[in-house]
């Protein structure tokens, strides 16, 4: 990659609405003025992980296609100390999500991002954040891309297998306990499925049929809900994938659909697929409504 025209990735920080300092990274396309750009907010998974400085295939692809790429280490991200981590406890859909919204506002106020051309994209927790962005703050984003993200926290937590008992205890503490009636309101409000009637932006949803962490039903139920409420979505199910896409043919297929979807909604460049799917991909496509 020494001679590749890679876009610089620069650290940024901003102050969230409650005064907490939030850290992240901004990558800008090469040779384009950093003014009023279409932008993709790329949300990391975990959520107890983080974005780090360095080469990222999706980040570089999106910058190459003409997008500013904003990556935010929202509260609950690791690597910034226990206070930063635990500030996200029981905050799914709440301050963890508003950190993302505030990051978009920071980029818009700085003149970097066009407020009418912002997408939210992520996998796993990042996919949840994309669904939450579409359901809870639909006016912030032009479109959303969810890869294997949970839509209903009750069914997500119920699907955790017995041998993940330690992980289940962490989820009960940091997300909410579905067996505790006092947490019912919290988990209901944080589940995008129950606000699917508010989703009015185009969605691209990718899912692996064999996903042990976020079951296929998580994608199916939100797609059905979007259809019920006359929204628009493209649903790509990969029949031989798990949590995230591993086979190169499937990764290429979803990436091709993603960049076409972003081009249709944000106006960036894309490389067209020569056929209806990448050869060798197992994609099964369902189209709801009339996505652009």
pLDDT tens digits for range 6-44: 999 999 999 999 999 999 999 999 999 999 999 999 999
The pTM (predicted TM-score) of the whole model is 0.96
Active-site residue identified among 98, 114, 151, 243? 243
pLDDT for the residue numbered 1: 82
What is the domain count for the chain? 1
165 has pLDDT over 90:
no
Active-site residue identified among 124, 191, 232, 281? 124
2 domain residue, yes or no: no
148 domain residue, yes or no: yes
pLDDT for the residue numbered 291: 67
Active site residue 243: yes
3 domain residue, yes or no: no
Active-site residue identified among 211, 232, 253, 281? 211
pLDDT tens digits for range 28-38: 999 999 999 99
Q: What is the CATH number of the domain that holds 123?
A: 3.40.50.1820
Active site residue 76: no
4 domain residue, yes or no: no
185 domain residue, yes or no: yes
136 has pLDDT over 70:
yes
Residue in 102, 158, 91 with CA at minimum distance from that of residue 125: 91
Active site residue 197: no
pLDDT for the residue numbered 162: 84
DSSP string, the chain: -TTS-PPPEEEEEEE-TTS-EEEEEEE--TTS-SSSEEEEEEE-SSSS----SS--HHHHHHHHTT-EEEEEE-TT-SSS-HHHHHTTTT-TTTHHHHHHHHHHHHHHHTT-EEEEEEEEEEETHHHHHHHHHHHH-TTT-SEEEEES--S-HHHHHHT--GGGHHHHHHHHHHT--TTSGGGHHHHHHT-GGGGGGG--S-EEEEEETT-SSS-HHHHHHHHHHHHHTT--EEEEEETT-BSB--SHHHHHHHHHHHHHHHHHHH----PPPSSSS-TT--EEEEEES---
61: containing domain = 9-288
87 domain residue, yes or no: yes
């Amino acid at each position: 990659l020494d001679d590749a025209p890679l876009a610089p990735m620069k650290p940024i920080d901003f102050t969230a609405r409650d005064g907490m300092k939030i850290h992240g990274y901004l990558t800008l396309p090469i040779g384009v003025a950093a003014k009023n750009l279409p932008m993709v907010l790329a949300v990391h998974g975990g959520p107890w992980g983080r974005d780090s400085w360095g080469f990222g295939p999706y980040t570089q692809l999106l910058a190459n296609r003409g997008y500013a790429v904003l990556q935010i280490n929202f509260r609950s991200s690791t690597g910034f100390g226990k206070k930063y981590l635990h500030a996200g406890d029981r905050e799914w859909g709440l301050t963890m999500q508003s950190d993302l919204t505030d990051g978009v506002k920071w980029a818009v106020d700085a003149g970097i991002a066009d407020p009418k051309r912002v997408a939210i994209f992520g996998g796993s927790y990042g996919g949840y954040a994309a669904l939450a962005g579409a359901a809870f703050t639909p006016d912030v984003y032009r479109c959303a891309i969810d890869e294997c993200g949970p839509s209903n926290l009750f069914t997500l937590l119920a699907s955790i297998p017995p041998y993940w008992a330690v992980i289940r205890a962490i989820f009960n503490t940091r997300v909410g306990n579905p067996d505790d009636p006092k947490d019912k309101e919290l988990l209901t409000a944080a589940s995008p499925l129950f606000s699917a009637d508010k989703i009015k932006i185009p969605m691209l949803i990718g899912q692996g049929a064999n996903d042990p962490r976020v079951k296929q039903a998580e994608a199916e139920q939100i797609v059905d809900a979007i259809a019920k409420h006359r929204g628009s979505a493209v649903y790509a199910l990969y029949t031989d994938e798990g949590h995230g896409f591993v086979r190169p043919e499937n990764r290429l297929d979803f990436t091709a659909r993603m960049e076409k979807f972003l081009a249709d909604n944000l106006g960036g460049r894309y490389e067209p697929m020569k056929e209806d799917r990448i050869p060798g991909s197992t994609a099964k496509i369902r189209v709801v409504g009339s996505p652009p």
